Chain A
Amino acid sequence: MLNIKDISKTFNPGTPDEVQAIKHVSLAVPDGAFVVVIGTNGSGKSTLQQLIAGACVPDSGRIELAGEDITRWGEHRRAALIGRVFQNPFSGTAPTLSIIENMALAARRGQRRGLGWLLSGAVRRRLRDRVAELGMGLEDRLDNAIGSLSGGQRQALTLLMAVLQRPSLLLLDEHTAALDPKASDQVIRLTRDIVAREKLTTVMVTHSMHQAAHLGDRLIMMVNGEIRQDLADERKRRVNVEDLLALFEQVRRADRLDASAAELLRSRYV
Chain B
Amino acid sequence: MMLLIGSLTIGLILSLLALGVYISFKVFSFADITTEGSLTLGAAVAAVLIVRGVNPLAATMAGGLAGMAAGCITGLLHTRCGVHALLSGILVMTALYSVNLRVMGRSNIPLMSVKTLPQQAGELGDALFGAGGPVPLWGWTVEREALAGLAGALLVAVLVALLLYLFFKTNLGSAMRATGDNAQMMRAQGIHTGNMLVLGLAISNGLVALAGALLAQFQGFADVQMGIGMLVWGLASVIIGQALVGPSRFGLAIVGAVMGAVLFRLLVAIALRWGLNPNDLKLMTALFVLAALVLPTMLRSLRQRKAVRHA
Please report A residues at the B interface, Cβ cutoff 8 Å. 53, 55, 74-77, 79-80, 82, 84, 86, 90-98, 101-102, 104-106, 108-111, 113-119, 145
From residue A241, how far is it (CB to closest CB) to chain B in Å? 32
Report the 5 A-B pairs with minimum CB-CB distance, sorted nearest first. A79-B190, A94-B181, A110-B190, A94-B178, A113-B171
| Interchain CA distance A93-B191 in the complex, whole Å | 14
Residue of B nearest to A85 (CB): B188
**Which residues of A have CB within 8 Å of B186?**
94, 105
| A104→B182 contact, CB < 8 A | no
Please report B residues at the A interface, Cβ cutoff 8 Å. 167, 169-175, 177-178, 181-182, 184-193, 249
| A114→B171 contact, CB < 8 A | yes
Contact with B181, one of A95, A109, A111 (Cβ below 8 angstroms): A95
**Which residues of A have CB within 8 Å of B187?**
55, 75-76, 79
| A77→B190 contact, CB < 8 A | yes
| Interchain CA distance A76-B187 in the complex, whole Å | 5
**Which residues of A have CB within 8 Å of B192?**
74, 76
Residue of A nearest to B176 (CB): A113
| Interchain CA distance A101-B311 in the complex, whole Å | 41
**Which residues of B have CB within 8 Å of A97?**
174, 177-178, 181
Contact with A108, one of B169, B171, B249 (Cβ below 8 angstroms): B171
Given A80-B190, A94-B177, A104-B174, 19 more pairs with CB closer than 8 A? A76-B190, A76-B191, A76-B193, A77-B190, A79-B191, A91-B182, A92-B188, A97-B178, A97-B181, A106-B189, A109-B188, A109-B189, A110-B190, A113-B171, A114-B171, A114-B172, A117-B170, A118-B170, A119-B169
Q: A93-B182, A94-B177, A95-B182 are in contact. Are A115 and B170 (CB under 8 A)?
A: yes
| Interchain CA distance A145-B171 in the complex, whole Å | 18
| Interchain CA distance A115-B169 in the complex, whole Å | 9
Q: A76-B190, A80-B190, A117-B169 are in contact. Are A92 and B174 (CB under 8 A)?
A: no
From residue B176, how far is it (CB to closest CB) to chain A in Å? 9
Q: A80-B190, A96-B249 are in contact. Are A102 and B178 (CB under 8 A)?
A: yes
**Which residues of A have CB within 8 Å of B189?**
79, 105-106, 108-110
**Which residues of B have CB within 8 Å of A55?**
187
15 contacts between A and B (CB under 8 A): A75-B188, A79-B191, A80-B190, A91-B184, A92-B188, A94-B178, A96-B181, A97-B178, A109-B188, A111-B190, A113-B191, A117-B171, A118-B170, A118-B174, A145-B249
| A116→B182 contact, CB < 8 A | no
Residue of B nearest to A81 (CB): B190
Residue of B nearest to A108 (CB): B171
Q: A79-B190, A97-B177, A111-B190 are in contact. Are A118 and B182 (CB under 8 A)?
A: no
From residue A260, how far is it (CB to closest CB) to chain B in Å? 41
Q: A75-B187, A76-B191 are in contact. Are A114 and B178 (CB under 8 A)?
A: no
Residue of B nearest to A101 (CB): B174
From residue A168, how far is it (CB to closest CB) to chain B in Å? 13
B-side binding surface: helix, strand, loop or mixed? helix
From residue B23, how far is it (CB to closest CB) to chain A in Å? 14
| Interchain CA distance A111-B181 in the complex, whole Å | 20
| Interchain CA distance A270-B187 in the complex, whole Å | 50
**Which residues of A have CB within 8 Å of B171?**
108, 113-118
Residue of B nearest to A116 (CB): B171
| Interchain CA distance A98-B187 in the complex, whole Å | 19
| Interchain CA distance A118-B172 in the complex, whole Å | 8
Contact with B178, one of A86, A105, A116 (Cβ below 8 angstroms): A105
| A93→B190 contact, CB < 8 A | no
**Which residues of A have CB within 8 Å of B177?**
94, 96-97
Contact with A94, one of B170, B172, B185, B190 (Cβ below 8 angstroms): B185
Contact with A79, one of B172, B173, B188 (Cβ below 8 angstroms): B188
Residue of B nearest to A53 (CB): B188
**Which residues of B have CB within 8 Å of A77?**
190
Residue of B nearest to A84 (CB): B188
| Interchain CA distance A116-B169 in the complex, whole Å | 9
Residue of B nearest to A92 (CB): B185
From residue B66, how far is it (CB to closest CB) to chain A in Å? 23
Question: Which one of B169, B171, B186, B188 has the highest number of Cβ atoms from chain A below 10 Å of its Cβ?
Answer: B188
Q: A74-B192, A76-B191, A80-B190 are in contact. Are A93 and B185 (CB under 8 A)?
A: yes
| Interchain CA distance A153-B311 in the complex, whole Å | 32
Residue of B nearest to A75 (CB): B187
